[in-house]
Homo-oligomer: A and B are copies of this chain.
Amino acid sequence: MDCKNTRLTHQRKVVLEELKKTTAHPTADELYESVRKRLPNVSLGTVYRNLEILSACGQALKLDLGEGKKRFDATTDPHYHMRCTQCGRIIDVPYIPLIEKIKDQLKGMGKFKIKNVQIHFEGICEECLKKEQTP
């Protein structure tokens, strides 16, 4: 994708601003609802197109946590994600250099060449742990 010829339209600006406002890792549809509060005539297609461009150009992350839909994150610093199996929330997991260690372990393991590692976690978030303790 050619990121030089992209224009900073009002819609694109608002999409990125709304994404930066939250740490909830919204889906395209959830973000569409936020954006719509500021731009009532925006279309879902525009939100999808802008999220595609923003993530392709390094201003957002496109996440696939195996839910059958993508999520987006304006925090592009290295970190991982955990999906709470009880409430579905997506929680940030601090970065530790897992991937380098994994690549080291896999070097010379087969006749293929590993370029990238996709990794995420499943577990129980802080809120759901609290609920378990006080039923």
Known contacts A93-B106, A109-B93, A119 near B122 by CB under 8 Å: no
For A116, list chain B residues within 8 Å (CB): 121-123
What is the CA–CA distance of A30 and B50 in the complex, to the nearest angstrom?
Answer: 32
For A96, list chain B residues within 8 Å (CB): 105-106, 109
Interface stretch, picked from A3-11, A17-25, A34-42, A124-132, is A124-132
Q: What is the size, in residues, of chain A's interface with B at 8 Å between Cβ atoms?
A: 34
For A115, list chain B residues within 8 Å (CB): 85, 121-124
Whether A124 and B129, one on each chain, are in contact in the complex, defined by CB atoms closer than 8 angstroms, is: no
Whether B82 and A114, one on each chain, are in contact in the complex, defined by CB atoms closer than 8 angstroms, is: yes
Sampled A-B contacts (20; CB under 8 Å): A64-B64, A82-B112, A91-B110, A91-B112, A93-B106, A93-B114, A94-B109, A96-B106, A101-B101, A102-B119, A106-B121, A112-B123, A112-B129, A114-B121, A116-B121, A117-B120, A118-B119, A118-B120, A118-B122, A119-B119
A53 interface residue per 8 A CB criterion: no
